Amino acid sequence: MLLRHTPKEIKERKALTVNPAKTCQPIGAMYAALGIHNCLPHSHGSQGCCAYHRSTLTRHYKEPVMAGTSSFTEGASVFGGQANLLQAIDNIFTVYEPDVIAVHTTCLSETIGDDIPQIARKAGQEGKIPKGKYVIHANTPSYVGTHVTGFGTMTKAMVDYFAESEGTRLDQINIIPGFVEPSDMEEIKRIAAELGIKVVMFPDTSDVLNRPQTGRFDMFPKGGVTIDALRSSGRSKGTIGLGRLASGPAARALDSKCKVHCELLDLPIGLTGTDNFIDAMRKMAGVSVPESINIERGRMIDIITDMHQYFYGKKVGLVGDPDQLISLAEILVSIDMWPIYVVTGTQGKKFETRIKEITKCVPHEVKVVSGGDMFLFHQWIKNEPVDLMMGNTYLKYISRDEDIPFIRFGFPILDRVGHSYFPTVGYRGGMRLMEKILDALLDRKDRDSPEETFELVL
């Protein structure tokens, strides 16, 4: 349904969300679990919940997403889902033979109060978990948090269940990449390799949800962090968490459990974010930055210089996840664009404060809200339009109704293909992102230009 009847008059709403700028915790938990090698995510709830989580991830990544479900019926809803989960664990290990089953809860199982660790212990006592196999869990009710917090909770579970501190320190660094695309995780590993640094990245969905077409189906693709690597993360030199909300819980848990020092950074999107990431890596590993990285940085500065005149003073509206919006706002301000509307569906006053800090030099009022929705965002735009919008697929309706250029960024992107193969992190990713921004602005300029100013050359 299009949104042409959205009113311009803004009224306070406390108990009503219209077009939420988020989705539920289990989707993020399922995505994180797919970043473990030979892992099958498992939704402890109804079949409908699991079907929604799988279909959303499948539609975004255009890859088949495998997951199990406890298939709650009326009986399980009343008496609890222990019997269902015990049977599921037995069936999954017998039929599919994963190394890990990563259980995440849903609204229904959380409301009942199922104790997942107790059920897993019972499964082990009854011989339903083969030797060398594991069941981990994350509590992810959909009535609190968002897909971002679900991702963070499941990533923390990887530390809680696997990280070990016994033994000597290893010459390696942990990287928790945050809720980003598989291509972004791949690019982060490439940058680390250029620096000559051995890393343990978790979760790691590269070669899982952007795998090559081979002509045959693999239940468990070759990608994902291994259990041995997760164990070794407790003996690394340090941890870099990218995106404070999605990566913070796991990074702090590793510091507390194994005394591995952690440093939390913004996502390395844009010049400043990537500079900070590479500098932190350099210091933590005790290495020098190679010329190949300096060349990439120089190219990004060159492309910023070439494009700057077209970016200057353009107003932007942003909708998405907190970690991504912070980095997006930072790159936009650095190229003299004005992010004047910033909306995330995830609650957090720290997010609002951070955006205000980033945009304090913007010569325009900046409206930012956490726990907001796209209805409010649309009302802001009706009162004062912007030159560009950036966010997930659902913004396309506002883009069409208000005739505003739109760049798809974040999660979910359901109506385009390719985002899981092309990074937006690092210098290379930043150049691609700026090219997309410039193309959107100049395409609109061409569309609206009269005959006498329709130029062949800029």
Token pair for residue 346?
A: 């995830």
Q: Give pLDDT tens digits for 149-206.
A: 999 999 999 999 999 999 899 999 999 999 999 999 999 999 999 999 999 999 999 9
Q: What is the CA radius of gyration of the chain?
A: 23
Phi-psi region of 100 (alpha: psi -120 to 50; beta: other; left: phi over 0): beta
Token pair for residue 422?
A: 């092309």
In 184-309, which ranges are E strands? 199-201, 238-242, 262-265
Distance separating alpha carbons of residues 265 and 334, to the nearest angstrom: 17
Name the 3-class secondary structure at 379.
helix
Inter-CA distances, 3 with 71, 270, 391, 410, Å:
36, 33, 17, 21
Nearest residue to 268 (alpha-carbon basis) of 342, 190, 213: 190
173-292: CATH class? alpha beta
Q: Hey, what amino acid is at 223?
A: G
What is the separation of C-alpha 169 from the centre of its chain, rounded to a whole number of angstroms? Answer: 30
User: 173-292 and 307-452: same fold?
Assistant: yes
Kindly tell me if the per-residue pLDDT of 116 is higher than 80: yes
Name the 3-class secondary structure at 343.
strand
Q: Determine phi and psi for 215, rounding to 5 degrees.
A: 90, 0
Nearest residue to 344 (alpha-carbon basis) of 430, 388, 409, 424: 409
What is the separation of C-alpha 156 from the centre of its chain, rounded to a whole number of angstroms? Answer: 15
Mean pLDDT for all residues in the chain: 95
Residue 327 is classified by DSSP as H
- Check residue 419 and give its pLDDT: 92
Distance separating alpha carbons of residues 201 and 88, to the nearest angstrom: 29
Helix, strand, coil percentages for the chain (3-state, nearest 5): 50, 15, 40
Name the 3-class secondary structure at 56.
helix
Q: Checking DSSP bridges between strand 367-370 and strand 39-44, what pairing results, if any?
A: unpaired
25-150: CATH class? alpha beta
Kindly tell me if the per-residue pLDDT of 385 is higher than 90: yes
Across 302-320, average pLDDT:
97
**Partners of residue 173 on adjacent β-strands:** 199, 238
All residues at 6 or more sequence positions from 77 whose CB lies less than 8 Å from its CB, including other chains: 108, 112
- Check residue 197 and give its pLDDT: 98
Q: Is residue 457 very low, low, confident or very high in pLDDT (cuts 50, 70, 90)?
A: confident
Q: Give pLDDT tens digits for 257-274.
A: 999 999 999 999 999 999
Nearest residue to 271 (alpha-carbon basis) of 247, 302, 241, 242: 302
Cα torsion for 132, 158, 418, 279, to the nearest 10°? -130
What is the separation of C-alpha 25 from the centre of its chain, rounded to a whole number of angstroms? Answer: 12
- Check residue 3 and give its pLDDT: 64
- CATH 3.40.50.1980 is held by the domain 307-452: yes
Q: Is residue 13 very low, low, confident or very high in pLDDT (cuts 50, 70, 90)?
A: confident
Longest Cα–Cα distance of the chain, Å, equals 80
- Check residue 167 and give its pLDDT: 87
The answer to whether residues 192 and 218 touch, using CB atoms and an 8 Å cutoff, is no
Give the DSSP H or E segment for 44: strand 39-44
In the chain, where the domains are located: 25-150, 173-292, 307-452
Q: Give pLDDT tens digits for 404-419.
A: 999 999 999 999 999 9
Q: Give pLDDT tens digits for 272-281.
A: 999 999 999 9
Residue 129 is classified by DSSP as S
Q: Checking DSSP bridges between strand 68-69 and strand 39-44, what pairing results, if any?
A: parallel
Across 46-58, average pLDDT:
94
Distance separating alpha carbons of residues 54 and 64, to the nearest angstrom: 8
What percent of the chain has a predicted confidence (pLDDT) above 90? 90
Q: Is residue 2 very low, low, confident or very high in pLDDT (cuts 50, 70, 90)?
A: low
- Check residue 254 and give its pLDDT: 97
Token pair for residue 261?
A: 């020092």
Q: Is residue 78 very low, low, confident or very high in pLDDT (cuts 50, 70, 90)?
A: confident
Kindly tell me if the per-residue pLDDT of 4 is higher than 80: no
